[in-house]
Amino acid sequence: MAIKAPRKPAHTESETSGMGGEIHQRAGSRETALTTDQGIAVGDNQNSLRAGPRGPTLLEDFVLREKLMRFDHERIPERVVHARGTGAHGYFELTDSLSDLTTAAILTEVGKRTEVFVRFSTVAGSKGSPDLARDVRGFAVKFYTREGNWDLVGNNIPVFFIQDAIKFPDLVHAAKPEPDRGFPQAQTAHDTFWDYIALTPEAMHMIMWTMSDRAIPRSFRMMEGFGVHSFRLIDAEGRSRFVKFHWRPKLGMQSVLWDEAVKINGADPDYHRRDLWTAIDRGDFPEWELGVQVFDEAEAEALEFDHLDATKIIPEEKIPLRIIGRMVLDRNIDNFFAETEQVAFCTGNVPPGIDFSDDPLLQGRNFSYLDTQLSRLGSPHFTQIPVNQPKGCPVRNFNRDGHMQIAVPKGRVAYEPSMLAPDGPREHPPSGVRSAAVPFSGEKGRERAETFADHYSQARLFYMSQTEVEQQHIADALVFELSKVETMALRERMLRHLANIDEGLCASVAEGLGFRGAVEPLQAARPTRTDLEASPALSILAKAKPTLAGRMIGCVMTDGADRAVIEALRDSVTAAGASVMLIAPAVGGIVAGDGTHIPADAQLAGAPSVLFDAVALVTSRKGVTELLSDPRSVAFVHDAYAHLKVIGHSAEAKPLLEKAGVMPDKGIVPLDGKRAATFAERAAAGRIWDRDPGANAA
């Protein structure tokens, strides 16, 4: 390793950094300079100190460490980010050994089940925010391996807003409630967020993802997960290869419409939490496949984009996914605080055989997560909390004393080497963690690699890979968010970014905002590539498969309803892997046409159609007459139709459909004992996109 002093001064704020984002304010005087808490002027607030543009981040970067440390300790005890979360226990089982690539036992021992704890979360909101905010979802897995805990701490989106950890506090401060007024909560539709984004071109790819349906998932059980960064696998000979980790839900992916998300937040702000808990409680255990993209240095060099850049993906068409295992969540938590709140994840927790890349965002996370636990959990002994304790291996070291020490270390020796305690813990190179022996050289300095400079091409790739419906949703989301922005200059600047991504998208958003005039694209550090081929793997709808597994059907019934139709419906839906919630005007249930009692699972007033994937109406003539006078009943049907859902109905329920403005199409299915299977088949195909998608968007 050769580290030299920089031969030229770092860029000033008066310059434009095409790699790290455009900085437009002029450099101020020393009296107005940004400083550390020690009063030391900061010369570069965009880039961590690295050994060469693509080299590792240096521990001596006191600006980075102070900035992250102060940010990590801003709030106690709630997490600064990912505060709103829920967790569950389960296991991971390897199905395809990577013994030729790594020594990590968890990735080499086929058939062995390793206990896991998983925490899902939103990022921006507080603990009290609703589940269906438009946001990134955290997807953090703690593996209790026999070689120590491995924390794969990722999101449901494979990229991030920024390329360097030094920018993370600024990003989150911009997204959080504005500090002078304390709102909006769990929303990015406000000026400070878009002010930051408008001046951060590297965020454009992530913006496409967060404005897409990926940011409003139907369920934690129906979303993908990603490790985001490149890691390394190290084999027995010390050779290393890069790896990216992917989680794929067995139930497939599904999202809600924005109008649904808004109404679900009002009807059940705990919708995602309740869904996960209920599924596990009834034995419908969520499951994901673990896939990896493995590539070597030569393959990395051949990629169009730098894999060390966390704002970029490697399309599966370039490096296919290899499925190596499965994860099943089969046990709910016993205590929310003791487990979900106190679980502590850290990207730096890896077993032997797994190592880090030089991704500057990952390098900063490795410091920040550990530092955060000291603030949130109050002591360096947070690893003694049961949910954080290693379960598959012993813990032996000389860490002693301190606040909240629970263990009782024995003996007079608390150090090594020692002749007094020759059998005490000692280093063991054969089984110990090793770092990849990767040579590097470069000038020490704060700079961004030129290979990180293309901010628009993958944003364009993501957008062009979506179906027409999904593209419209992205445009609608941008119009909604930017319409909440009060500063016109920010709206106009975002349009100039969009012009670099896709002219059609820019035009659609401009029309939605009522912007008149030509939009001049912002000057880009690298021109947007137009030769990239679409990646269908990036679209939810393009790879969707018909299924009802894990879904919920809402069935409204009234006194006098045909019991046979209700039972046929329930049998068909259950056989397809879904659940049925029976809804009645009163929670006590109904008396069917044959005089028997049918209990209800919910009252109509408390179970709007937004909570279900498809709905059915099984009524009597008298019953439907009573429903026609209840606005909530009409709203139930109207919303289901407006949200493009399949609606099954008995012949007696037709007047309710007519009053709700329902027009016949393939998603409106008459119900009787013989056609319940048709309803299940149509519902499994998903939403009826032939209905006007724009009519229900934000």
pLDDT tens, position by position, 296-308: 999 999 999 999 9
Instruction: Give the Cα separation of 143 and 89 in Å (integer).
Output: 10
Q: CA 77 to CA 428: how far, in whole Å?
A: 37
| Mean pLDDT within 226-237 | 97
pLDDT of residue 33: 78
Which among 327, 370, 381, 371 is positioned nearest to 345, based on CA atoms?
A: 370
- Rounded distance between C-alpha atoms, residue 392 and residue 397, angstroms: 16
Helix 457-464 / helix 488-501 crossing angle, nearest 10 deg: 80
Q: Where are the alpha helices (DSSP H) in 583-643?
A: 621-628, 631-642
Q: Which tokens in the block code for residue 576? A: 């397809």
CB–CB of 618/566 below 8 Å? yes
- pLDDT digits over 656-693, tens only? 999 999 999 999 999 986 789 999 999 999 999 999 75
Instruction: Centre a 10 Å sphere on the Cβ of residue 60 and count the other Cβ atoms it contains.
Output: 10
pLDDT interval class at 521 (50, 70, 90): very high
Token readout for 674 is 């013989």
Region at 577 (left for phi over 0; alpha for psi -120 to 50; beta for the rest): left
pLDDT at 694: 56
C-alpha distances in Å from residue 21, one per residue of 14, 16, 197, 300, 610: 13, 8, 9, 24, 40
User: Which residues lie below 8 Å from residue 638, measured CB to CB, with a gap of 6+?
Assistant: 660, 661, 662
Q: What is the pLDDT of residue 698?
A: 36
- pLDDT for the residue numbered 395: 87
Residue 524, token pair as written in the block: 């880009």
Which one is catalytic: 11, 47, 89, 155? 155
602-603/579-584 β-pairing: parallel
Band (pLDDT 50/70/90 cuts) for residue 14 is very low
Average pLDDT, the chain: 92
- Is there a catalytic annotation at residue 455? no
In this prediction, residue 415 has a pLDDT band, given cuts at 50, 70 and 90, of confident
Both tokens of 124, joined, read 């921006």
Pick the catalytic residue: 82, 89, 205, 307? 82
Number of residues in the chain: 698
Would you call 257 exposed, middle or buried from its count of C-beta atoms within 10 A (0-12, 13-18, 19+)?
Answer: buried
CA distance 89 to 106: 17
Apex 339 CA angle, 334 and 345, nearest 5: 155
According to the model, what pLDDT value does residue 29 have? 62
| All domains of the chain in start order, with CATH | 76-157+212-296+318-388 (2.40.180.10), 552-696 (3.40.50.880)
d(CA 558, CA 620): 6
Write out the H or E segment, with its range, that includes residue 508. helix 503-513
* pLDDT of res. 73: 72
Secondary structure of residue 391 in the 3-state scheme: coil
Are residues 522 and 201 in contact, defined by beta-carbon separation less than 8 angstroms? yes
H or E segment to which residue 354 belongs: strand 354-356
Residues 6 or more apart whose Cβ sits within 8 Å of residue 594: 563
Rounded distance between C-alpha atoms, residue 156 and residue 175, angstroms: 18
In this prediction, residues 19-45 reach a mean pLDDT of 65
C-alpha to C-alpha distance for 568 and 574, rounded to whole angstroms = 10
Token output for 55: 């080299």
Has 155 been annotated as catalytic? Answer: yes
Residue 2 predicted with pLDDT over 50: no
Q: What is the pLDDT of residue 10?
A: 39
Asked if the peptide bond before residue 417 counts as cis, ω within 30 degrees of 0, the response is yes
Mean pLDDT to the nearest integer, 4-29: 43
- Which range has the worst mean pLDDT, 116-120, 410-414, 491-495? 410-414
pLDDT score at 27: 52
Percent of the chain with pLDDT over 70: 94
22 has a pLDDT exceeding 50: no
